[in-house]
Amino acid sequence: MTSTGLDSATRQRFQERAQAEGLVDVAFATMDSPVGSLLLAATARGLVEIAFTRNGTRVDDALDELARKVSPRILEAPARLDPVRSQLDEYFNGHRVDFDVRLDRSLMGPFARRVLGRTERIPYGSVSTYAQVARHIGAPRAARAVGNALAANPIPVIVPCHRVVRTGGALGGYGGGLDRKEWLLDLEGARGREQ
């Protein structure tokens, strides 16, 4: 639910009252970044999604999915996501290597949680392979399944699935597109630096 058509003061009062009365389960905001427009969504537990958007259509798709999977009580509430946006800005400007953001992992299944939990431990400026991640989580034959879990990562950038590449250094896939993966790895100086 967006609060468009209202002046900013009225919109802010509406957002504050809805949140104060417990009517908002998912707050969202958008932000521009060097890798395109991002939709950020958070629950009371933490950041639940970062979605790459194109032409505005992905925003609606992402909000529809959040309504189905988390809660239909969604409100645009940028102030609630200001700390996340600030940390992302610092990262994109080369001034942050780690994030201090609470995460809501409710959009991740058990296998994906293991994969993405391991992925979170890949340091800034390093890469790992799908096979290495599979071995680290105790599923050495599951490199393809690891790739699928990474492609469905609901919190890219902060959960750095871009740091996982194919054995031999080829980029592999990326849910946000290979151009974004390449940009993020270049930002971190991680191209060709396996862990």
Q: What does the pLDDT look like over 54-92, one tens digit per residue?
A: 765 678 888 999 999 999 999 999 999 999 999 999 999
Is 110-188 the same fold as 8-92? no
CATH topology (fold) of 110-188: Arc Repressor Mutant, subunit A (1.10.10)
> Distance between CA atoms of 152 and 84, rounded to whole angstroms?
20
Question: What pLDDT is attached to residue 17?
Answer: 56
Looking at residues 83-103, what average pLDDT do you find?
97
| 172 vs 153: CA distance, rounded Å | 15
Closest CA to 70 of 27, 113, 108, 107: 107
Catalytically annotated residue among 150, 159, 161, 185: 161
| The CATH classification of domain 8-92, taken from the options 3.40.50, 3.30.160, 3.30.70, 1.25.40 | 3.30.160
| Active-site residue, 181 included | no
When pLDDT is cut at 50, 70 and 90, the band that residue 144 belongs to is very high
pLDDT above 80 (res 45): yes
